[in-house]
Amino acid sequence: MSDLLDPKNDYVFKRLFADAPALLVALINAVRRHAAPITHIEVRNPAIEAAELHGKYIILDLLGEDAAGGQYNIEMQVRRYRAWSARSTYYLARLISGQLVAGDDYGRLKPAIGIHLLDFDLFQEPAHQDQACWCFEMRDAERPAVTLGQELQLNLIELRKADRLQSTAGALGAWITLFEHWQEEETMSRIADPPVRAALDKLRTLSADAEARRLAFVRERALHDEVSLLKDAREEGWEEGREAGMEAGMEAGRTETLRLTAINLIRGTGLDDAAIAAITGLGVDDLAALRRAL
């Protein structure tokens, strides 16, 4: 099983689920195990465009709609970056705002539900080491039992932490085992959950396809290139900003560092303004102004 493709590669992840809605239904129900189960989902973006494989900072996500009209954004993410939570909230908000056009009744809005599987520990504080599955909703800070509707929900699974804790049983535990131990034949042989077994079989079939292996490698290489580009942009921005800081004070130097990093990303990558804003913390309007000035 050591030659199986990594299901956490977002190209492989999308291939696994885009053509198998029943498996995606099973994954969603496992993550949202305390919610009413769905029985059907339609993947709205099953195709994978060539530009997505090479694109920097592009997430090969799955957009789905259930039988009741609920909207889903399912992502596999393998790296943590600056302003991660802001980026996730932004795209979830777009999922709900995109449902209406001018003149539509707000009562037509359906829930927008994010499911993000993370191959890193997002919450690293000591007090958060005993939890790996999170569900964020609009709740009152003083009375968390009181919710403000069900229109927005973001589910996060920290895969590595969940695997370490070994506290997630049932279907979700089986999915976590697949994503973390797909190459371990003995471990996978103990998984009895039918959808996870079916996903493993599909992964075997996909891994035997030479073209799928090539495209998975292309995507992996693009992600490595992205990391290198971001590192270079930050280092160049820091060096130029450090010099500016010596002349104009540390706060001015920090601001200049972020500005120069953004310029390097605009010139050297294909990132959009929302992505660069998430990396640098600058506003989208500031980045648009930078683009016009270049």
CA neighbours closer than 13 Å in the CB half-sphere of residue 92: 23
pTM above 0.85, yes or no: no
Q: Which residue has the higher pLDDT, 169 or 118?
A: 118
The Cα–Cα gap between 203 and 89 comes to 31
Domain count, the chain: 2
Same domain, 93 and 108: yes
Q: Which of 45-59, 61-75, 199-213 has the lowest mean pLDDT?
A: 45-59
Query: What's the rounded Cα separation, in Å, for the pair 73 and 80?
Result: 18
pLDDT digits (tens, 9 = 90+) for 71-96: 999 999 877 766 677 778 888 888 88
Same domain, 223 and 100: no
CA dihedral 200, 203, 208, 209 (to 10 degrees): 160
Compare 94 and 38 and report the one with higher pLDDT. 38
45-74 burial: b if 16+ Cβ within 10 Å, else e: eeebeeebbebbbbbbbbebebeeebbbbb
Q: What is the mean pLDDT of residues 139-163?
A: 92
User: Of 184, 208, 232, at which residue does a domain stop?
Assistant: 208
| Domain span at 50 | 10-208
Q: What's the pLDDT score for residue 182?
A: 95
DSSP state of 282: -
What mean pLDDT is predicted for residues 33-46? 92
Is there a contact between 167 and 192 (Cβ–Cβ < 8 Å)? Answer: no
Kindly state whether residues 194 and 242 are assigned to the same domain. no
